[in-house]
Structure formats: C-alpha cells, structure tokens
Amino acid sequence: MRNWMTPVIYTLIGLAVFFVGIQLFTNTTGFLTSIVTMIGIAALIYGAIYFFFLRNRGFGGAAGGGNEMKKYKQAVKQSKQKYKQPTPAVKKSTVTKAQSKASGFGGKNRKRANGPQLRVIEGNKSKDKNRATF
C-alpha cells in the first residue's frame, strides 16, 4: 500500500509548488493578500484556542505561572511557616546556658511529638520498576 502512495504524494506536492509558483508570478498582489489573510486567520484561531483552553492548564511557561508554580509556591510558604525561628527578645545569661546544656542530655532519647508534615507536589512514578517482584 505504501509503494503506490509515495508517488501520489510527491505528485501532489509537485503540483502544489508548480501552481503556487504560477500564482506568484501571474497575480502577485492577490497571492500575497491571500497569504497574509491565511496567516492572520491562523493566528486568530491559535489565539482563541490558547485563550479558552490552554491558558488555564498551565502551559503558560515561566511568565504565565501555571498550576505547578502555584503548588510549588504554596509548599514553600508552608515550609517557611513550619521552620520559622522566633527571635529571642532578651539575651540569655551564662547561667541559663549552663543549665540548658546540663538538661539537654535527657532529651536525646525523646521522640518528636509531631512528625514532619510532608506534601507531595506531583511526581512521575514509573510503574515498570517494581523491585519487590524479583
């Protein structure tokens, strides 16, 4: 089937180039006007498709932000809130430093009351790497 389609396709392409050349030399202004009109219509169709469908899905790139950038900024904000260090208002004296060092040994065996609050942003999990089925 492919053997007879190849010459047909080359023939159609050749005829198209031939007639475009004829149109360019015989009716240059009409040809250029139709080319500019086709480019303008294509740009309008692409702009409408982008505005109504692709803009909200996150294909905007770095300047447009996108859905992934919103999730990343939210995760950074949560991380900053969690690990924010309060600034001490009064300097501690040397006596309290010595007491805190002495009382610090008993705290090593304590477990943390709250584990880390992790957030999955979105990752690609490869399903073909299942190491449990060796």
6-55: pLDDT as tens digits: 999 999 999 999 999 999 999 999 999 999 999 999 999 999 998 888 87
Domain ranges, ordered by start, for the chain: 1-80
Higher pLDDT, 36 or 134: 36
* Residue 70: how many other CB atoms lie within 10 Å: 11
Contacts of range 6-9, beta carbons closer than 8 Å, 24 or more positions apart: none
Dist CA 32 CA 40 (whole Å): 12
DSSP E strand boundaries for 7-67 = none
Look at residue 116 and tell me whether its pLDDT is greater than 80. no
Dist CA 101 CA 104 (whole Å): 5
65-111: pLDDT as tens digits: 567 888 999 999 999 888 876 655 655 555 555 555 555 555 555 55
